[in-house]
Amino acid sequence: MAGPRVVLVSNGPGELSTWVRPTLRAWRRLDPSAHVSIALIPCQFASGGEVDLARTFGADAVTTPAEYLRTAALGRAPSALKDGADEPGVVLSMGGNGALAAALGRRLGYPVMRYSFVPYLARGIERLFVHDEGTLRKARRLGVPARRVEAIGNLVADALEHSEPAPDPGSPHVLLFAGSRDAFAVHLIPFMIALADALHARYPSARTVWPVSSLLSDEAIAAGIAGRHADTLGGVAGRREGDELVAPGGARVRMVSEAERPAQLQVATVAVTIPGTNTLELGIAGVPSVVMLPLNRPEIIPLEGPGHWLSLLPLIGTPLKRFAVRLFVERLDYPVSLPNQFSGEPLMVEVTGVVDVAGVAAAVARLVDDADDRSRRAARLRETMPRPGAAERLVRRVYELREWPLAAAAGAADAASAAAAAGATDAGCVP
């Protein structure tokens, strides 16, 4: 007997890797008979590589943002999502604009539920799943009825479960993250090359590793290594030798695939990254990190909502965006890293504003050199970060709410552990 039709709606790289992938994995385990699709929707935060990434997850179908727009204009949904089947179905929004997911549900004739870090219930969504009790309380204060919202835990913890440590770590073992969007990575890669040289001069036995996002294009990686935009953040060009980058001062940065990232997290001493889902993954792994928000050229930072569309205006778009980003950050009295946001503690070192290699290298060195402080941060990260189990709880709750039988259950979910799950703020498009 065919199982239900499930449509996981998502938008960007972080949501796909840390929300959709563990949920799809749990769905396959709990109900192999379900037909599970991934529907990608338009979003200004998308990197352009989401379709290829989603196709590696093993979904029964993957539809593109272009298909969404083309069929929506005709009042229809992409045919692969329903394909003439009469089985019951559900749309689960997992990132991006909730209104777009609700509209897709209407066209498919399916109820719509949503998982989000933001306590907002868009019209047309019947159930909101959030990551922790604090966000649940915020949702209630914002008027979301108690019967329509519940906390089920943080899916990012499920994404990092079951990883083995990488062999032969360096001393220190430093991870550098250049992001997952071409437009920003081309500026960050030269900075990371220069940073590797600065750290190599201080720590000759260090091992520096760059877990390369699968969403970065070969062209962007090559442009970054060539230093095409090195002047943005005071970076330098390097050269590539196989799976290593060689910096001008002799530092070597090992390039590893995204699949190796969890193993690298297990052995990292410190990491350097930009705000986003990476910071939560690092926090769950207990890796004290330097999280930098460079404002040397604010116009290259993606904005949410109207700010993005204003930035596209001819002639005045770039100055408007530069002003908007600077105004936002100058008034920002809120951590930029996800672990700091929901722990309420400065566990990650944050560097914002006009950054330079020397300043970031000094912040990394303070972490490396103070083992006691690093151990304290790592311990508090492990104590305050979420635990695995949210993906299974989410799937089970969908089946309970729809009154569907589970074709194959793989052990009871530990509902009591949901209260221990921590949270963060949404890293996607406007809800």
pLDDT in tens, 306-333: 444 444 445 444 565 555 555 555 555 6
Low-confidence ranges of the chain (pLDDT < 70): 1, 44-45, 47, 162, 298-333, 407-431
- Tell which CATH architecture fits domain 5-161+388-420: 3-Layer(aba) Sandwich (3.40)
Q: Summarize pLDDT for 191-221 with one digit per residue, the tens.
A: 999 999 999 999 999 999 999 988 899 999 9
Name the CATH code of domain 173-384 (choices 3.40.50.300, 3.40.50.2000, 3.30.830.10, 3.90.1200.10).
3.40.50.2000
- How far apart are alpha carbons 305 and 324 in whole angstroms? 12
Domains 5-161+388-420 and 173-384 share a fold: yes
Q: Summarize pLDDT for 47-68 with one digit per residue, the tens.
A: 678 899 899 999 999 999 999 9
Q: What are the residue boundaries of the structural domains of the chain, listed by start? A: 5-161+388-420, 173-384
Q: Confirm if 85 and 5 have CB atoms less than 8 A apart.
A: yes
Query: Edge-to-edge, what's the strand order for the sheet holding 270-273?
Result: 239-241, 244-246, 252-256, 207-211, 173-176, 270-273, 289-294, 349-353
pLDDT of the residue at 18: 87
pLDDT of the residue at 428: 38
pLDDT of the residue at 273: 95
pLDDT of the residue at 252: 97
The sign of the CA dihedral 340, 344, 350, 353 is positive
Q: Could you tell me which residues come within 8 angstroms of residue 205 by beta carbon, excluding any fewer than 6 positions away?
A: 170, 171
Joined tokens for residue 399: 């089946």
